[in-house]
Amino acid sequence: MRWDDLRPSDNVQDRRGGFGGRGIVLGGGGLGMVAVIVVSLLFGVDPSSLLNGGSESMPGQRQPAGAQDASFDFSRRIVGSAEDVWGPLMQEQGLRFSPATFVTYDDATPTACGNGQASAGPFYCPSDQTIYVDLNFFRELETRFGAPGEFARAYVLAHEYGHHIQALMGTMDRHRAGERGADSDAVRMELQADCYAGVWAKRADQRFHLLEAGDVEQGLAAAASVGDDTLQKQGQGYVVPDSFTHGSSAQRRRWFQRGLEGDLPGCDTFAAGAL
């Protein structure tokens, strides 16, 4: 993946080493309901553990300082490319674009949605239009989820930026993301963010020529690695479709691929009959 020439975003807050670690509680404790149910469960964390103030970290997954700095630079440039892609694309749709803020932190951080925890994985808070990432997650993406490679990381960031686009377009206001189930609005919300990640990849490659051989496969593998069915099989040995919040591995691959091959209008998961 060729990303060195991408423009780094200036809409960034680096909270690593600051804002405290565990134990930060805003508004009664735990990550806010909106962030937990709508968008913070990208990587299969049980929402009850977050709403009850859980602060489980990622043991053994912490990156060395040098690797974290490289991840920070990489993330800034992917976010910058998302700004450069989505600004003109939203204008094409007659919509106003405003960039998301990108925040990096260690373990826990205050957000407008409550107390953000690294155990939630990367998440987007619509109340402050901010993407939150503990950079140590990128090592977990490789070791726990079996999704190595720079483009796998880029997919994660692009998915979260997709949630920001949903917020700007009013999608989060129109649909009941708190529901669960294989055909729920929550699943449709997440699959649309996967599709938007594919749209970003297509447009960014057209503009910046960033894709190299194997990159698309990395993104598809990352999407599949965090499907509800895959995570449930790993965690409990069986699948419960009625509890899905993000979609199956096959669905996540399919909608990411749809974005890669299509464009924004093709990402309307809420109008799609079958997912």
Tell me the pLDDT tens digit for each residue of 198-214: 999 999 999 999 999 99
The two tokens of residue 129 are 């239009």
Tell me how far apart the 2 most distant CA atoms of the chain are, in Å: 48
1 in any annotated domain: no
32 in any annotated domain: yes
104 in any annotated domain: yes
Query: Whose structure tokens read 């807050």?
Result: 13
Quote the CA–CA distance of 202 and 252 in Å, as a whole number. 17
pLDDT digits (tens, 9 = 90+) for 118-150: 988 899 999 999 999 999 999 999 998 999 999
Query: Whose structure tokens read 């804002």?
Result: 19
- Asked if 210 and 219 count as a contact pair (C-beta separation under 8 A), the reply is no
Domain count, the chain: 1
Strand runs labelled E in 55-199:
101-104, 108-111, 114-117, 123-125, 130-133
17 in any annotated domain: yes
What letters, b where the CB count within 10 A reaches 16 and e where it falls short, cover 121-139? bbbbbbeebbbbbbbbbbb
Please enumerate in sequence order all residues whose Cβ is within 8 A of that of 129, keeping only pairs 6 or more positions apart, or say none. 98, 100, 101, 164, 167
Domain residue limits at 100: 12-267
For residue 45, pLDDT over 70 is answered with: no
- Asked if 172 and 196 count as a contact pair (C-beta separation under 8 A), the reply is no
The two tokens of residue 238 are 């069986």
5 in any annotated domain: no
More confident residue, 137 or 62: 137
The two tokens of residue 265 are 């209008």
Reported as a pLDDT band with limits 50, 70 and 90, residue 65 is low
275 in any annotated domain: no
Inter-axis angle of helices 65-92 and 150-169, nearest 10? 40
pLDDT digits (tens, 9 = 90+) for 69-112: 899 999 999 999 999 999 999 999 899 999 999 999 999 999 99
209 in any annotated domain: yes
